[in-house]
Each structure stands twice: as C-alpha cells, then as structure tokens.
Amino acid sequence: MTVVGTPPPALPVRDKGAGRALSPMLTRLAEERATGVLVREHGVLHLAEGRVVHAESPLAPGLDVLLTAHGTLAATAWQQAAARTTGPLLAAELLLRSGVLPTGALELCHLDALYDAGYFALAPSSTPGRFRYDSTPRLGPLPSVPVVALERETLRRRLLLHRLWPDPAADTAPLIRADPAAGRAPANPAGPTTPATQAASATPVTPRQRAVLDRVDGVRTATDIARNLGRQAFHTLVDVRRLTAAGQIAPLPTAPSAPPPPPPLGQVTTDPDIALLKRLRDALEAL
C-alpha cells in the first residue's frame, strides 16, 4: 500500500477580472510612461518609459549571486564588469556585449532576478513608496517587463504561497527543523490529526527541498538560504512553505513579549462595519 501525500495545490491562474493594483502610484507611473526609480520599503524598481527594467531587494539574491553561485560566471568577471559600470543592470549589459555569457542564459537570469526582487519590492509595506524622476534607467538590450505584468505575477505568487501554507511567518523568521512525527497541523488546517497527518509528514522531500532543508539551522532565514544556494528567493519560499506544511520545518518561535494591552472594551467589535469586515476577512481566509 503506497502512502500518498497530500498533493500540492494547483498553480493559480491570474484572475484577469480582478483589476487590483498593488501600488496606485506604480499604475500612474506606468500610464505616464515614467522613467526613474521607485523606492519602496522592501525593494527598488527601475522604470524606463513605464516598463520595469531592473529590480532589487535585500530579500532576494541579485543577478550577481545567481550567476556566480554555481560558477556560471567567475566572481572576478562580475566584479570587473561592476567596477566599469554604475549598477548591476549596466554590468549585465556589459557582460552581454562582451559575449562571456550566452544571451539566453543572461536573459533568463535577468528575468528571474527581476521578477524575484519585484515580488518583494511590491510586498505590502508600512511606509509609502517614493518615486524619483531620473533619466538614467533606459530600455536596453536585456528584456524589460510591463508594470502590469510584474504586478499580476506578484499577486499570483502571493496566492500560490498562500495556497501552499497560509501562514507567512516562515518567510522571514529564522527556520528550525521540526519533527514531522510530532504531528503538526496538516496542510488543510481544518483536518484532524489523524493518519492523514502522518501521511502528509511522510511526503517525500524532493531534491530541491532537501537542499533547503539541509541549510535550516535555527539561524538562517529563507532569504539567507536562497543566497546560500544561489537560488531565487521566491523559489526558496515555495519550498519553505511546502516543508512547513509537511511539518518538516517551522519558524523559530519569537521570545514571548509582554502581552499587548487589551483593546478598549466595546470599541472594536460593536462597530458593525468593522465586524462585517472581520467576518469577510475570516471567510476569505477560510477559502
């Protein structure tokens, strides 16, 4: 009798009807075909004529890491290109012109890095973004991406992670190995702790997940692991959420802090609008 693990949910398809924009400012900048740099809390987007030509985030490994981690490009070759240019995008263009890398490989890595950093740059933030009009970014030989395409892909990626495991805590916290046999809640939070849980725990770890699992040490976060592996951060998050759902890893519990002061009685829940919004939120989260 073969134990069949819970199959991961299907990759989501973008809902074209949903005209949600992640950043109204970005939508406006795309409409006016702006050129400049958008600085947000978790990353930076470089726009040329309203298209994203480059993205950077401290949470995603850059093109340099992706290219040098596995020896595709010698670290010294990147450093030389970077020293002769102003910024990673121009360094990549220099590498393209010099022909040290196949065009397809460089385009592919560039797009990988752009969508990866863009995902974090467009993450919900607690501070408003700032746009600086700047004529430096331009449409170059490497592919650029329409703002709308990056926004829609980012939303789709959020949905994909949410379907794998709805709690985002493991995305940012240091990760620890968990004992799958200890019986964590199964991927379906409504499910009971029954043989189904054990079956989920017995889901084989794929080779790519094994590489992530081997680097979980109680200190590294998903971003650290991505950088260590020279792998896209979003790809790492997919495996982190799946390993979390399988009970293989868990976010390091944060030290208990002083309990928050109790909310003023009768202020929050009696507001019919707030109560309705909360019920809506709970219902949406339960989907």
Partner 1 sequence: MPGIDECLLEAMRLPGARGAALVDWTSGLALGAVGEAPGGDHETTAAEAAELARMAAEHGTFAAGGDDLPPVEDVIISNGDSYHLLRFVDTSFDSSVFLHLWLGREEGNLALARIRLGEMAARLVLG
Among all chains, which residue has been given the structure tokens 């298209």? 51
Among all chains, which residue has been given the structure tokens 């002769």? 84
**What distance separates the 2 farthest-apart alpha carbons in the chain?**
68
Phi, psi torsion values for 53, nearest 5 degrees: -100, -20
Pick the closer one to partner 1 by CB: 51 or 157. Answer: 157
Among all chains, which residue has been given the structure tokens 């703002």? 147
The three-class DSSP label of residue 204 is coil
Q: How far is the CB of 51 from partner 1 (least distance, A)?
A: 15
Task: Report yes or no: 174 and 219 within 8 Å, Cβ to Cβ.
Answer: yes
Pick the closer one to partner 1 by CB: 188 or 206. Answer: 206
Pick the closer one to partner 1 by CB: 115 or 131. Answer: 115
Q: How far is the CB of 4 from partner 1 (least distance, A)?
A: 12
Q: How far is the CB of 236 from partner 1 (least distance, A)?
A: 10
Pick the closer one to partner 1 by CB: 110 or 184. Answer: 110
Q: How far is the CB of 111 from partner 1 (least distance, A)?
A: 5
Q: How far is the CB of 101 from partner 1 (least distance, A)?
A: 8
Which residues in this chain contact partner 1 in the complex, by CB under 8 A? 10-14, 66-67, 69-72, 99, 101-105, 107-109, 111-112, 115, 143, 153, 156-157, 160, 204, 206-208, 229-232, 234-235, 238
Pick the closer one to partner 1 by CB: 108 or 169. Answer: 108
Pick the closer one to partner 1 by CB: 34 or 92. Answer: 92
Q: How far is the CB of 167 from partner 1 (least distance, A)?
A: 20
- From residue 147, give the alpha-carbon distance in Å to each of 26, 126, 140: 7, 21, 16
DSSP sequence for 9-27? PPPP---TT----S-HHHH
- In which region does residue 250 sit, left (phi positive, over 0), alpha (psi from -120 to 50) or beta (all else)? beta
Q: Beta strand pairing status for 175-177 and 43-48?
A: unpaired
